[in-house]
Structure 1
Amino acid sequence: IPDAEREHLASIVWSPDGLKALLYLNGYAHAIFDFQKRCGYCRTNFPNFMEDQASTWRTSSHAWNDDVLQEFEGALYS
């Protein structure tokens, strides 16, 4: 986050079905967690790990996906 010395506003918004959460920092979407699909998306694509067969979450990529954001926000405002 640029300008780390000033205060920032963080908010977490849950989807109506409770299966997704979206992190906003200063009103800008930074991360989405889809608990049903077990995927996380982050603007910085961090952190990434080698795939673990024992894990039920996708770990090799947290790449941002605008389609997931549009789906999330569409469900909020429909």
Structure 2
Amino acid sequence: LRQMNLASIQKPFNLSRTTSRLLRKKNKNDRNQLTELCEGVIRVHAPLNTKVSMAIQLDEQTTAKDITSRFQPEI
């Protein structure tokens, strides 16, 4: 039983092309774009609203209502 387990662990994986694409590491450029935000800028994700993602500059007077109003549909 132990030999069968060791043999299965050492056996190379036969992954299909689509599976290997899914498991591949993501582009480093994608991670760098998220960290390029300046001081006082946040990225807000709101997938249930009209706009999915937005970078917002914060200041001392910014409230949560100001941020959520940017995502509400304009009537």
TM bucket normalised to smaller: under 0.3
Q: TM-score, normalised by structure 2?
A: 0.24
Q: TM-score, normalised by structure 1?
A: 0.24
Structure ranking higher in helix proportion: 2
